[in-house]
Chain A
Amino acid sequence: MSTIDDVLKSIKSDVPAVIKDQLKDLLTSAVEDTDSVIKETGQKLKDWLLMLAEGKISNEEFEALLYSRDQLVRQYKNTLEIQARARVEKIALALINLISEKIFRIPFGTI
């Protein structure tokens, strides 16, 4: 398995050291994250950078993979929001129905 240092060595030498340091920090935090999608994203970016350096994928394919991952992460965030909001609705409605219909016998459904 490739290490982050292998990835950094594979990057063109004209990239400023400050950018490489930033990349190292971000990749390290991503691969150590507890969120599975963040962790997987860090791992995949590491692998794709090495594949690019080794000529296994072209620049255009690398860009397409990055864009596709960007859309996947946005999808993941959207799904988390849907799940959180649906949970609120399920609990809130169950609570309202229980109090209004079962405890106070208010004909809530007819409003």
Chain B
Amino acid sequence: MPRFVEIIRSYIFTILIGFFISSCALFVTHYDATAYQYFTSLKAYHLKFLDDFTANDNKIWDETALNNACDTGELRFREAIEYATGKKDESRVHAFEYLHNAFKSQCQLSIRTKKLFSKTYVEEQKKDVAANYDWAISGEVSRVGAPIK
């Protein structure tokens, strides 16, 4: 009888291993506190960038200031994407890329038009930029191992 139990145990163990290995492809990498920090600090930088280059009575379009802000943002995004790439999970890399693409297009908009953003545009744009980051952050905190809220 004990021999029979051993065989059953080995059999179940093999099935479990097979199940585990085959389901690994479905898995995502675990929560990463550094990635979370990149998302939140980039969000603050990106929203401030839009505020800083919004038209008001006292502001004039400054190409040098714009280029500096875009270059700084570019570096920060590249650092985050480089970090995410090292974590070997495409879903996290994509999350940073969707934010980076939006930032680049907003830089290009001001560079191309040589104008500050209009208030109406920024009002609309900031809602979508914030929501884009919120979805990215929501993805990070839904990973296994995220701190319980």
Interface residues of A (CB under 8 A from B): 44, 47-48, 51, 56-58, 60-61, 64-65, 67-69, 71-72, 74-76, 78-79, 81-83, 85-86, 88-90, 92-93, 96, 99-100, 104, 106, 108
Contacts and interface: CB of A to CB of B under 8 A. Distances in A.
Of A44, A51, A68, A100, chain B has the most CB atoms within 10 Å of the CB of A68
A78 B98 contact: yes
Interface stretch (B57-65, B67-75, B79-87, B123-131): B123-131
B136 A75 contact: yes
Interface of B: 9, 12-13, 16, 19-20, 23, 26-28, 91, 94-95, 98-99, 101-102, 105-106, 109, 112-113, 117-118, 120-121, 124-125, 128-129, 131-132, 135-136, 138-139, 142-144
Contacts of A108: 16
Nearest to B146: A86
B144 A89 contact: yes
Given A79-B95, A99-B16, A61 B109 contact: yes
B16 A79 contact: no
Contact of B139 (A47, A78, A106): A78
The binding surface of chain B is classed by DSSP as helix
Contacts, number: 119
Contact of B121 (A65, A90, A100): A65
Nearest to B137: A79
A68 B105 contact: yes
Q: Which 3 A-B pairs have the closest CB atoms?
A: A79-B139, A61-B121, A82-B139
Given A61-B118, A86-B144, A78 B94 contact: yes
Contacts of B120: 51, 56-57
Nearest to A90: B144
Contacts of B27: 85, 88-89
19 contacts: A51-B124, A57-B124, A60-B112, A61-B118, A64-B125, A68-B129, A72-B102, A75-B99, A75-B139, A78-B91, A82-B91, A83-B138, A86-B142, A88-B23, A89-B144, A90-B144, A96-B16, A99-B16, A100-B13
A48 B19 CA distance: 49
